[in-house]
Structure 1
Amino acid sequence: MKKIGILLLCFVAATKTFAQTPEADKILGLWLSEDKTGKIDIYKANGKYFGKLIWGKTMYEPDGTTSRKDVKNKDEKLRSRNLRA
């Protein structure tokens, strides 16, 4: 009887763990910004969620070829990187 109880407990714990994943993963994929001026790819890596700018209306300077920089990044070291990799 004790083995059945332990087995049942393991089954419930495993089911609960896997049951949360599909709900949280609904955010994965390509999304348009609310004003439709940008496209963002939401992806998951090592259990964490990330977003990558795929396209944006203002990704380039007015000359149309020079990529804008990430000047609003909280990390000062990353402010000189291009918005478009």
Structure 2
Amino acid sequence: MKKVVILFAFIFTSTVVLAQKSDEIIGKWLNKDKEAHLQIYKKGNKYYGKLAWLKNPNDESGQPKKDSKNPSGELKGRPLLGLEILKGFEYKNGTWEDGTIYDPKSGKTYSCKMTLDGKNKLNVRGYVGISLIGRTEVFTRVD
């Protein structure tokens, strides 16, 4: 009986520590160009991110910027502010992976994985096919 209690305590503690580690990514992040804040959050067991702040939220006519580069005509009119650009990430051994990132500047969606470098730097790697063929950008945590 003692062994069962100890085993249960170990499993419970391991699960709590893993959940805390996987949730370290949650929060606001500033992109490398300092043009946008990305709010990362959790839905179920997956992680998502949306544009929470834009340095220049309006176009030349003073209207909110739209997703004008989107290849889908029906999505071109949606506002950029609040747009979910990170989708479906799962935490695996220190990496958030198996998700996608949408680039509103090009209208393209890429495979993506993310890793933390300390508590305040987030490496976001977008790629096509395999992660060797891609680009990494470093985001910094917003207080």
Structure with the higher helix share, 1 or 2: 1
- Counterpart Cα distance in 2 of 1:12 and 1:30: 32
Shift in alpha-carbon separation, 1:59–1:14, aligned structure 2, 3 A:
same
- Within a 5 Å distance, the mapping from 1:3-82 to structure 2 comes to 3-64=1-62, 66-71=63-68, 76=72, 78-82=75-79
Q: Gaps (5+ residues) in structure 2?
A: 83-143
Name the CA distance, whole Å, in 2 between partners of 1:10 and 1:72: 52
Deviation at 1:47, TM superposition (A): 2.5
2:16 is aligned with what amino acid?
Answer: F
* 2:103 equivalent in structure 1: none
Query: Closer, same or farther in 2 for the Cα pair 1:71/1:11, shift >3 Å?
Result: farther
TM-score, normalised on structure 1? 0.72
Task: Return the alpha-carbon distance in structure 2 between the equivalents of residues 73 and 59 of structure 1.
Answer: 17
Q: Unpaired runs of 5+ in structure 1? A: none
CA distance 1:4–1:54, change in 2 (3 Å): same
1:47 corresponds to which letter in structure 2?
N
Q: Secondary structure at the match of 1:44?
A: strand
The alignment covers a number of residue pairs equal to 81
Runs of 4+ in 1 over 3 A off after TM superposition: 71-74, 76-80
Q: Which one is further off, 23-32 or 10-19?
A: 23-32
Deviation per CA, 1:32-66: give whole Å up to 9, x if none.
111111111112232321212111134322212x2
Distance in 2 separating the partners of 1:59 and 1:83: 8
Whose RCO is larger (CA < 8 A, sep 6+)?
A: 2
CA RMSD of aligned residues (A): 2.3
User: Greater strand share, 1 or 2?
Assistant: 2
